[in-house]
Every structure is written in C-alpha cells, then in structure tokens.
Amino acid sequence: MEDQIQRIADRVKVINKTVTDYYDDLLEYTIEEIISRVLLYLNHDELAEKFEYVIVNIVDGIFRKYKANLNNGDVETAISSMSDNGQSVSFADGLRNYLSTSADNELFCGAEKVLSRYRRISVAGS
C-alpha cells in the first residue's frame, strides 16, 4: 500500500505544481483517507491499480479546493502551527473535517460515476 500511496502522491505533484514537498504529510494523509473512502464506497478490501488515477484526480481536486480556501483566508483550513528546524507543519482541523464529513458525491468530485461501475453489492447479514 505504501508503494501505491507514493505513486499517487507523485502523480498528484505532476498535475498540480502547487503541491510541493512542504505538503507531503498532508498529501499522504489525504491520499490514505481517500483510499479508505473509495474502498468503503466500492466494498473492496484492496485498491486495484486501475483506480489510482481516479484517486489522483480526487486528491488534486481536494488540494485545489484547500488551496483556494487558504488564499481566501478561510481560517478553518489554515496552518495551526509550524516549526522551522524540525520542518513540522500542523494544519487546522478544517480539511480533516471536510474529508470525514463530506458526502461521497461531494468528496469524489464527480468520480463516483466512474467508480459506481465497480461497486460490489453488500448483502445484509453476510
């Protein structure tokens, strides 16, 4: 799974040049959260490689929205603390709250139409 996360992170950085190494921790967290949500949505246990590009687009959309909120001065998504030597950055809970409370169709930025074809039906009691 770590290899998948790294491939996805590298691809996000290719299509969105504003996602620099500075955001690595947040990027990794966001990718893990989106993978988890996609797996729940699909009722799968493992992420097939064919879904990686879909996740890249979802994460890119989230980062673009996040950066727009920062540029607009949205305090919910602002940086809450930084340290220089340890290169530690802590973000406010706004992005985390967005990831955990958003509906699939909002969070997936339209990708649920692509993903829905691969959804497994869940049977109650199994």
pLDDT at residue 102, as a whole number: 78
Chain CA centroid to CA 119, Å: 19
| Average pLDDT score over residue span 23-43 | 92
> For residue 43, which amino acid is it?
N
Q: Which residue has the tokens 């990718």?
A: 31
What 3-state DSSP class applies to 80? strand
Angle at 109 between CA 90 and CA 103, to 5 degrees: 75
pLDDT at residue 110, as a whole number: 84
Rounded to the nearest 5 percent, the helix, strand and coil shares of the chain are 65, 5, 30
Percent of the chain with pLDDT over 70: 72
pLDDT digits (tens, 9 = 90+) for 37-84: 999 999 999 999 999 999 999 999 988 887 776 665 554 445 555 566
